Structure 1
């Protein structure tokens, strides 16, 4: 009992800096999302370059919904980052494989009864369709129009992230937080980039 009081007293005596550091540590997904945003912005020629981010976000969420296990979202995210990096090193376009993969995952999900699952889980199929179509369509538009479409897709996916975070459904909460930070700030950065060019 005395030890518990001592431990509690220690946490109450934590310095303001210590409290700030603990709060920041608890928000590691937000920090990681912002780091990924910076990484993506550094390579942008125009907003269409971030179409892949929108597509992958929707595909990873759909694949996670199909498994019915929110915790697999991080391994799926890691695998997608590695796969895209390998394709780029090899000089291969990722789009044919991604579109084919999305179609396969959607078909498997629908065959497994994904449409009959709770609303937020079932919604990942139309979300993939909308975000995927917007991503692919943006590639064929002018830099300005494509940039606006990608920015809208990112902000739209950020809204989905917030809903999933609040409801603690479909994907791990840490991924929803990470993705919300990445999507929203990258979407805003693309708006700024598009307006300034």
Structure 2
């Protein structure tokens, strides 16, 4: 393996870089690799949760025979998350875990309210919740921290399309 040439060091090098030593390329590369690994880890966490939610919805529909609403199953599975956000250090977690938990409570509460309302009011509430979640996804896409950008883009488009379909079906039905 060839040895990397470090370049000049000393007074001329420090003058060229504003009195500081030349930035170490290896350290800069390590930071970039860690940043990529962090973003990859976010994507690894996001997509399987989406797939798991789809599996729960389809399994509930198939196995429940229409007696159990998948929304209640998903809300029950998400119920322990607010307690998880109260653990020490969660307030300073990267990505704002308490804010995400609060959003989960608001969106989950809107879903539960829609189940209780029924009819056109529930449909419009669901469409509004989906559009609100699309704004939430746009925020995640903009800050590029909580989930990877392709996931935020996918979820944003899915939310807007499903909200539009809910409104169209409600108006025509």
Match of 1:89 among 55, 59, 62: 62
Q: Partner of 2:168 in structure 1?
A: 192
C-alpha displacement of 1:134: 0.3
Point out where structure 2 has 5 or more consecutive residues left out of the alignment: 1-40
Aligned residues: 129
Point out where structure 1 has 5 or more consecutive residues left out of the alignment: 1-68
- 1:1-197 superposed matches below 5 A: 69-71=41-43, 72-91=45-64, 93=68, 94-118=70-94, 120-197=96-173
C-alpha displacement of 1:119: 6.3
Give me the CA root mean square deviation: 1.9
More deviation in 115-124 or 151-160? 115-124
Contact 2:127 2:163 in 1 (8 A): yes
Q: Which has the higher helix share?
A: 1
Larger Rg: 2
Name the CA distance, whole Å, in 1 between partners of 2:91 and 2:148: 20
Contact 1:165 1:177 in 2 (8 A): yes
TM-score, with structure 2 as normaliser? 0.67
